[in-house]
């Protein structure tokens, strides 16, 4: 498994998948972006955990350095992160040296502010880590996708789900290193983000819609967009809508 690129124009959108995600999750979205004259690169987040622990701040520095080392293309280099990938994208945007011209944050949580809630989340994520390592893989995926916030079956094919089992070690590690409970809350730092941001939430995703409304008000150059009729999984519940919104946002420079 590796990053997947689609050439389609002068701009490139680097896409960060969610927890228990894969680069293949972005294939149809990448095709839709291409029809909007926007290139894309789906990033395999699991490769950053292959060598061992990598907290979110360390990931942000490594990821930004990797992106900055590549030649800039035309209109620029943009960032899109969904859910866990959205949290990692926020860390990347908050680094002093960052190479992004604009960003789209989808269904993401800037952090738990209550220490007791963070501790409880670390405990629940540790349990998910154990299940990822020890459960039968189909049973783990059924339990994961059955959560109320996700509300349904897998977003990928059975074959792609089976291939994802090759990353079960890195997925388990992500529940520790990139747990929402391990993350320091970023609310007070959102005002430090100096690039334009489009913050997206599903219209019907009450929790993350409220988080999005609060976060968008704290970032100097931020616009809130609500995906009509959607829950948490906006990139797959409203792929065409998100591709149009993303491409238009990047074309306008944010």
Q: Domain range spanning residue 110?
A: 4-251
pLDDT classification of 70: cutoffs 50, 70, 90: confident
Nearest to 192 by CA among 224, 223, 225, 218: 218
Contact residues for 125 (Cβ-Cβ < 8 A; gap 6+): 175, 176, 179, 180, 181, 182
Per-residue pLDDT at 1 exceeds 70: no
Confidence at residue 10, expressed as pLDDT on a 0 to 100 scale: 77
C-alpha dist (Å) from residue 246 to 43, 104, 142: 17, 7, 30
Q: Which CATH number do you get for residue 155?
A: 3.40.50.1820
- The string of pLDDT tens digits covering residues 152-209 is 788 999 999 999 999 999 999 999 999 999 999 999 999 999 999 999 999 999 999 9
Between 123 and 10, name the one with better pLDDT. 123
Contact criterion met (CB below 8 Å) for 91 and 178: no
| pLDDT, mean of residues 101-115 | 97
pLDDT classification of 92: cutoffs 50, 70, 90: very high
Q: Which neighbouring-strand residues pair with 13?
A: 40, 78
Contact criterion met (CB below 8 Å) for 68 and 100: no
pTM of the model: 0.96
Angstrom distance (rounded) from CA 105 to CA 125: 22
The total of structural domains in the chain comes to 1
Three-state DSSP at 91 gives helix
Q: Which neighbouring-strand residues pair with 44?
A: none
Confidence at residue 77, expressed as pLDDT on a 0 to 100 scale: 92
Confidence at residue 73, expressed as pLDDT on a 0 to 100 scale: 65
Angstrom distance (rounded) from CA 181 to CA 183: 5
Angstrom distance (rounded) from CA 84 to CA 171: 12
């Amino acid at each position: 498994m590796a990053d997947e690129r689609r050439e389609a124009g002068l701009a490139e959108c680097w896409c960060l998948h969610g927890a228990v995600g894969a680069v293949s999750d972005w294939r149809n979205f990448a095709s839709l972006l291409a029809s909007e004259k926007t290139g894309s690169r789906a990033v395999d987040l699991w490769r950053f955990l292959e060598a061992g622990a990598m907290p979110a701040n360390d990931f942000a520095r490594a990821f930004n350095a990797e992106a900055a080392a590549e030649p800039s293309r035309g209109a620029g280099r943009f960032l899109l992160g969904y859910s866990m990938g959205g949290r990692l994208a926020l860390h990347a945007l908050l680094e002093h040296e960052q190479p992004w011209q604009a960003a789209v944050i989808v269904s993401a949580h800037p952090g738990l502010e209550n220490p007791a809630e963070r501790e409880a989340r670390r405990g629940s994520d540790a349990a998910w880590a154990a299940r990822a390592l020890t459960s039968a893989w189909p049973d783990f995926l059924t339990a994961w996708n059955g959560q109320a916030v996700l509300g349904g079956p897998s977003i990928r094919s059975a074959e792609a789900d089976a291939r994802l089992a090759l990353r079960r070690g890195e997925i388990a590690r992500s529940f520790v290193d990139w747990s929402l409970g391990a993350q320091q809350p970023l609310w007070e730092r959102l005002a430090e983000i100096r690039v334009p941001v489009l913050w997206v939430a599903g219209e019907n995703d009450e929790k993350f819609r409220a988080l999005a409304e609060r976060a968008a008000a704290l970032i100097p150059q931020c616009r809130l967009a609500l995906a009509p009729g959607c829950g948490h999984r906006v990139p797959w519940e409203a792929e065409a809508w998100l591709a149009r919104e993303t491409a238009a946002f990047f074309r306008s420079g944010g």
